[in-house]
Amino acid sequence: MHKRKLGNSNLEVSALGLGCMGMSMSYGLPMEKPAAIALIRAAVERGVTFFDTAEVYGPFVNEELVGEALAPFRGQVVIATKFGFNIDPGKRLQSGLNSRPEHIRQVAEASLKRLKVDAIDLFYQHRVDPEVPIEDVAGAVKALIAQGKVKHFGLSEPGVQTVRRAHAVQPVTAIQSEYSLWWREPEQELLPALEELGIGFVPFSPLGKGFLTGAIDENTQFVSTDFRNVVPRFNAEARKANLAVVEPLRRIAARRQVTPAQIALAWLLAQKPWIVPIPGTTKLNRLDENNAAADLQLSAADLQEIEQAVSQISLQGERYPEALLKMVGR
């Protein structure tokens, strides 16, 4: 597996990471713990060194899973986790945003225990909290870095001005936001700002929540607990229309003798050398399929063909329900 550095930081990780959320929630039924541990360890054996989790995934159970799975590989891997929500410990339910400095400190201590580490490699604010100045958030993480409890600071789904303000207090190593061939908004303002500031970019949902694999169409049925049931872009009508974006991927994949998912990931990797996508999966064969994309070099002609085809497509449906849309880009 090739390595990449996140921006100007010294944080070097595998060119593709592994998003672990779906092992515990959001996409279908949670994995059995032994199978999930085996999958995470298989990723390490295949050269993956970057793993993404958060206290709110589960809540708590995904951090515990990642901590147990990666315990034998301390010092060889990078674990990213996140703070920024209130969680009722009894009900294990998320109940609103909270990035107050004292809460950030509490989350850091709890995450350290669940992850079984002495320091959190990359600590993201999960969503920008409008009630807490970002300077206070950055300052709290800066203090944790000074104490040796956190190594790097990140933000998830922030607006560009928030990034600039945070970076002025504590250098930001990475921004995590959705980015793929079916959500390209980061190209407008965010990517130019990150390039200017020397900040790495970690796209989540790099396969469009599975859509860019070509395995989903208007007839696909999701289990009742699947998050995609409430995503407007995944209603049956939108799925039917949005299949247009998969067609050029299928065409190039057939020519290159690879899969549409590998084309989609290779396209992301080709955008900037400081981009590290974190596709998630619950299946070993999909892990291998995704990882192979790190070795796939798209030609200039391939990239031009994708650009010409996709730029003419108007994708249908919002990427989040309305309540979640209000929490991004602030």
Condensed to tens digits (0 to 9), the pLDDT of residues 243-292 reads 999 999 999 999 999 999 999 999 999 999 999 999 999 999 999 999 99
Q: Is residue 44 one of the residues assigned to a domain?
A: yes
Contact 210, 28 (CB under 8 A): no
Total number of residues shown for the chain: 330
Q: Is residue 135 one of the residues assigned to a domain?
A: yes
What is the percentage of the chain residues whose pLDDT exceeds 90?
95
Domains of the chain: total: 1
Q: Is the pLDDT of residue 92 over 80?
A: no
Cα separation, 55 vs 320, in Å, equals 21
Q: Is residue 114 one of the residues assigned to a domain?
A: yes
Query: What is the reported pTM?
Result: 0.97
Q: Is residue 290 one of the residues assigned to a domain?
A: yes
Q: Is residue 313 one of the residues assigned to a domain?
A: no
For residue 95, the model assigns a pLDDT of: 81
The helix/strand/coil state of 5 is strand
Q: Which residues contact 114 (CB under 8 A, 6 or more apart)?
A: 55, 60, 63, 64, 67
Q: Is the pLDDT of residue 93 over 80?
A: no
pLDDT band, residue 83 (cuts 50/70/90): very high
* Mean pLDDT over the full length of the chain: 96
Q: What is the CATH number of the domain that holds 157?
A: 3.20.20.100
For residue 153, the model assigns a pLDDT of: 98
For residue 85, the model assigns a pLDDT of: 96
Which are the catalytic amino acids? Answer: 57
Q: Is the pLDDT of residue 91 over 80?
A: no
Q: Is residue 55 one of the residues assigned to a domain?
A: yes
For residue 28, the model assigns a pLDDT of: 82
For residue 88, the model assigns a pLDDT of: 83
Q: Is the pLDDT of residue 158 over 80?
A: yes
pLDDT band, residue 47 (cuts 50/70/90): very high
For residue 94, the model assigns a pLDDT of: 77
pLDDT tens column, 201-233: 999 999 999 999 999 999 999 999 999 999 999
Q: Is residue 317 one of the residues assigned to a domain?
A: no
Q: Is residue 314 one of the residues assigned to a domain?
A: no
> Residue 22: which of 206, 221, 268 has the closest Cα?
206
pLDDT tens column, 172-203: 999 999 999 999 999 999 999 999 999 999 99
Strand spans (E) along the chain: 3-5, 12-14, 18-19, 50-52, 78-83, 85-88, 93-97, 120-125, 150-156, 172-178, 200-204
For residue 279, give its domain range: 3-208+270-296
For residue 29, the model assigns a pLDDT of: 86
What is the percentage of the chain residues whose pLDDT exceeds 70?
99
Mean pLDDT, residues 86-111: 90
Contact 92, 60 (CB under 8 A): yes
Mean pLDDT, residues 9-27: 96
